[in-house]
Chains A and B, each alone.
Chain A
Amino acid sequence: MKKIWVLLGLAAIMLPTLSGCQLKVLDPKGPVAETQAGVIKLSMIVMAFIVLTVVGLYLFMLYKYRASKVGADYKPPHIEGSRVLETIWITIPILIVIFLSIVTVKSTSEVEATPKGYEDQDPLIIYAASSNWKWHFSYPEQNIETVNYVNIPTNRPIEFKLYSYGPITSFWIPQLGGQKYAMSDMVNTLHLLADTPGSYLGRNSNFNGAGFAEMEFETQAMSQKDFDKWVKDVHHTAEKLTEPTFNELLKDGHLGRKTYTGTHLTFRPAPEMHHMKKMDGHQKATEGQHHHE
């Protein structure tokens, strides 16, 4: 039986590290996800150390003191405890926790701000609003709105402004960075940045009803040049987003991709700002949707 535990223990440590390169979260395409992948790998190493120590001790005890080994007339002694040993196994974990706390606090403030080295750039602001069961992306600067896909320039910090026209959702692009909630009564800011062009799957990860599983979107990271070209094309080809069209879009269901000029922010501002205003904006934001008939 011990062997199985050895194997399991080893598998527990090895598998994630070995297959790490292919796993989305451990295959970052931007500095935010990279910081997080770094924290994850570091914590895995620390945890492997803890697991090995404890499992080692455990196997030793099981091997050395099983009844069949110690002999039939062996009588175990009475042992109360040991101050020295107990101090050791309180102190070492405390030191580990302190170390991990420092790592956590540092990395958390890092991912909650514009990525290091890009502070001098103006972030691109994209509003990402969820409704049952789709994502609406508004580019106020470019005056464009898309549904279920988002194009971003590489090497430019992006600030996603998140909110929801319904249940709480969570905006997540694993290869670019961790997630954050989108809620109906406030706007959250998620800092992301892509340093490699490519297509990255994003999704809502917070359960929000029947259409949850399919609530995905594609993130296309492209060079600034390609991005500018795309913006230009949209302004030539796409129709304008009107309030009635937007209300249609909000209705429960799935939609394919859509592209518009203009954004819904002009007639339906996001629920940002401080409390009083927030209530107002929010009421506006929730009017005229969720038709249940």
Chain B
Amino acid sequence: MKEYFSRFAVPDNGEPMIIASQILIVIVSLGIIVGLTYFKKWKYLWNEWLTTVDHKRIGIMYILSALLMLFRGGVDALLMRAQTSMPENGLLDAQHYNEIFTTHGVIMILFMAMPFIIGLMNVVIPLQIGARDVAFPRLNALSFWLFFFGAMLFNISFVIGGSPDAGWTAYFPLASTEFSESVGMNYYAIAIQIAGIGTLMTGINFIVTILKMRAPGMTLMKMPMFTWSILITNIIIVFAFPVLTVALALMTMDRLFGTQFFTMSNGGMDMLWANLFWVWGHPEVYIVILPAFGIYSEIISTFAKRNLYGYKSMVFSMVAISALSFLVWAHHFYTMGHGAMVNGIFSITTMAIAVPTGVKMFNWLLTLYKGKIEFKTPMLWAMAFIPIFLIGGVTGVMLAMASADYQYHNTMFLVAHFHYVLIPGTVFAVLAGFTYWWPKIFGFSLSEKIGKWSFWFIAISFNVTFFPMFITGLNGQARRMYTYSESTGFGPLNFISFIGALGLAVGFVLIVYNIYWSTRYAPRHVTEDPWDARSLEWATHSPVPAYNFAVTPVVESTQAFWDAKEKGTQLFRGKYEPIHMPSNSGLPFIMGVLFFFFGFCMVFGMWIPSIIFGLAIFACMMYRSFEHDPGYHISVEEIKETEKKYGVNSHENQLA
């Protein structure tokens, strides 16, 4: 019996930090259960959240989970910076450090950036295209719960069984059972797989939503830029994620069933993993950056009070980027030794991406031209993005030059590059989008004052943290070293990085404080259009009613709402009619739970329970295919009632 349970022990058990976390997790979980029971909130939680298929609520849950993961990943980052702040520091040992940078990478990319973006697209896209929900609301809920339970499964690794420790890139043979013996990398393979299936379904869902559910009049070339960016992002998802699915499946078989796809013996090919990983991995970086481009396009044009400059070239450049993003993966291993010819070709395709990216840069700048720029918090993020991302981009081009990359590869220079693109690109963008759309979601604004404080903390500290890495990289500091000797001279610059990391932490805490403060004290129901914006989501009430629009809007240009305000174009032409809505379902949540336990049993090679949970998942799918679910209708009465509550009868046609 004891032997059976010993598998759940963390290899380096006895580590006080891990024991403390184990105890903390138990206490917090108990606290939540007791709290929910005491305040009689179980029913509310189940009816309003766990079973919801409303895209707005699903979006909110995505964003909340992403924020939670931001803090998990952020603590990892602080620990890393603290450990390397001084030469030969003893805060963490090598194994611990390796686990932390592995989970940091996976969590930040897959469980923070991705869900944050998917959360924003959930909230915004149906509103922006004038739809009542996504194409497949229940599938959407399933996507969320798969992501959520995938993330939870990944996160419990450090208290049950041991964290993954082979890097977020999980290069073989290091990630094989031969060199990574704990169950950590099993968690990696299975948790990411579960979340990844959810992402793939999101991809399909949003492509269909955008292609089929736009308001009348909104042709493709009249879609707002954020919608365009999300369409292209989801197309990339649908092409790229199956590669990850296959790679992880092979990895799972290698680790659990003794196959030899990537191992050292019997013809296993270590570089096959690297190829598969980056065939997904490079498009993945564009999956997290293109939505950011969309968010910035909206924000810049709103706060410059100008239409977006060069709409068509913005669209074409994104299409070009998405195509090129599949042709550059080998730049992640120029040093594998495939010769000058192959490296030359991949260098050229990689540098070519800089051209469409540059086009976007100039279009944003020209959107400011002759504008009337207001520096509200979302705009501050967008304006910080331009110069910082520029540095990220040009260092990307430097890395793209194969001969020089032999010197940058695997160094802190590379680490600086991808943080210079990912943080101003993705993180600033989701924070900007979050601040920008917050009043639409909740009916009140976040505090500008606290928002600006957090902006300045983060924007400045970011550079303090990551700029020194360009220099230490050129001085020979490899990435992923848990320590270095004093004679290397890396000490001072690493210490500066650590100071910057502390500043970043302050900035992120301020963001949470802002949410808390504004929820308590900010004035309610200020306006439906607090930023004087241009696209459709601002044409409905804040917070948005369940049915989004009482009457489906009609669109005539890329900035439908702006035209309505400026030229008096009629957006809502028609009367109230009963609105068909999808009904809630507990099935996605239940399937998520089943996937969690299925995954957990797989991680530990407990076959019988895995099979049982696997069968239960199939049973849910069977049940779903025989289920008759006609949805329900919101009656005209009810719509009138709701609209009245918002005190709006300004759209006269609605009352006709």
Contacts and interface: CB of A to CB of B under 8 A. Distances in A.
> Do A and B make up one complex?
yes
A43 B394 CA distance: 9
Given A170-B409, A181-B333, A207-B479, A65 B401 contact: no
B335 A79 contact: no
Interface stretch (A53-61, A116-124, A145-153, A219-227): A53-61
Contact of B344 (A66, A104, A179, A188): A104
Top 9 closest A-B pairs, CB basis? A178-B406, A188-B337, A167-B174, A61-B368, A107-B403, A47-B394, A81-B310, A205-B410, A24-B476
Interface string A1-45: 100110011011001100110111110000001011101100110
Contacts of A62: 368, 373, 383
B94 A100 contact: no
Contacts of B366: 79, 81, 85
B580 to A, nearest CB: 38
17 contacts: A19-B471, A25-B407, A40-B398, A40-B474, A57-B365, A61-B373, A79-B309, A97-B352, A100-B351, A180-B406, A183-B271, A184-B264, A184-B270, A188-B336, A205-B478, A212-B480, A283-B265
A35 B406 CA distance: 11
A266 interface: no
Contacts of B352: 97
Nearest to B167: A207
Nearest to B355: A93
B156 interface: no
Contact of A65 (B369, B411, B463, B475): B369
B409 A205 contact: yes
Contact of A179 (B180, B265, B335): B335
Interface in A130-175: 132, 162, 166-168, 170, 172, 174
Given A16-B470, A89-B358, A101-B351, A39 B403 contact: yes
A282 to B, nearest CB: 8
B355 A90 contact: yes
Interface in B476-504: 476, 478-484, 488
A58 B369 CA distance: 10
Given A100-B397, A207-B174, A210-B94, A40 B407 contact: yes
A206 B410 CA distance: 6
Residues of B contacting A: mostly:
helix
Given A9-B387, A55-B387, 12 more contacts: A50-B390, A65-B371, A77-B306, A90-B359, A100-B351, A104-B404, A107-B401, A111-B403, A178-B406, A178-B409, A183-B270, A184-B173
Interface in A204-218: 204-213
B451 to A, nearest CB: 15
A78 interface: yes
Contacts of B467: 11-12, 15
Interface string B252-285: 0000000000001101011100000000000000
A166 to B, nearest CB: 7
A286 to B, nearest CB: 5
A89 B363 CA distance: 10
Contact of B402 (A108, A201, A203): A108
B631 interface: no
B375 interface: yes
Contacts of A1: 375, 383
A262 interface: no
A185 B263 CA distance: 10
B460 interface: yes
Contacts of A167: 171-174, 179
Contacts of B556: none
Contact of B374 (A9, A67, A93, A210): A67
B373 A286 contact: no
B37 interface: no
A207 B476 CA distance: 15
A112 interface: yes
Contact of B404 (A36, A70, A76): A36
B415 to A, nearest CB: 12
A57 to B, nearest CB: 5
Contact of A168 (B270, B340, B365, B401): B270
B583 interface: no
Interface string B287-317: 0000000000000000011110111110000
Contacts of B305: 75-76
Of the listed residues A74, A79, A184, the one surrounded by the most CB atoms of chain B closer than 10 A to its CB is A79
Contacts of A103: 401
B174 A108 contact: no
Given A11-B467, A86-B310, A178-B407, A97 B355 contact: yes
Contacts of A65: 304, 368-373
B577 to A, nearest CB: 35
B359 to A, nearest CB: 6
Contacts of A39: 401, 403-404
